[in-house]
Amino acid sequence: MRKVLKKNLIRERRGIRVSKKINGTSTMPRISVYRSNKYLQIQVIDDVTEKTLIGATTKSFKGKKTEQSTELGKVVAEKALKSGIKSAVLDRNKYRYHGRIKAFVESLRSNGIKI
């Protein structure tokens, strides 16, 4: 099996394994992460009512990607606390917990959101 195909297969399996265990409610919504080569996009979702509560992206931030992710964590935490959300479930999709994803989650935790 070619290396690229194997890598994509591993990502798909990881995404299925991670996402099937996660479900968000109104008291503890799901934080869905999408990571592109340039940006990080976040949605805070209530799966019961099927509505997006908060959405944010790193498109307007300057600096390195991990620094942008840290800033995004602060912004999302502020919006969540204003909305009355104190805890959430992380849906990292097919992405490993390191780099930008880890910086974002640690920033959320340091700003008062329990994950």
The pair of structure tokens assigned to 11 is 């990502």
Q: What local confidence, expressed as pLDDT, does residue 7 receive? A: 86
Residue 2 pLDDT > 90: no
Q: pLDDT digits over 64-79, tens only? A: 999 999 999 999 999 9
Q: pLDDT digits over 8-25, tens only? A: 898 889 888 887 888 888
The sign one gets for the Cα dihedral 22, 71, 101, 8 is positive
Q: What local confidence, expressed as pLDDT, does residue 19 receive? A: 78
Residue 12 CB coordination number (10 Å): 11
Q: For the whole prediction, is pTM greater than 0.95?
A: no
Alpha carbons within 13 angstroms on the beta-carbon side of residue 72 total 32
pLDDT class of 5 with cuts at 50, 70, 90: confident
The pair of structure tokens assigned to 59 is 């498109």
Domains and CATH numbers, the chain: 3-110 (3.30.420.100)
Contact by Cβ (8 Å): 99, 107:
no
Q: What local confidence, expressed as pLDDT, does residue 1 receive? A: 66
d(CA 53, CA 83): 8
User: What is the bridge-based pairing of β-strands 40-46 and 51-57?
Assistant: antiparallel
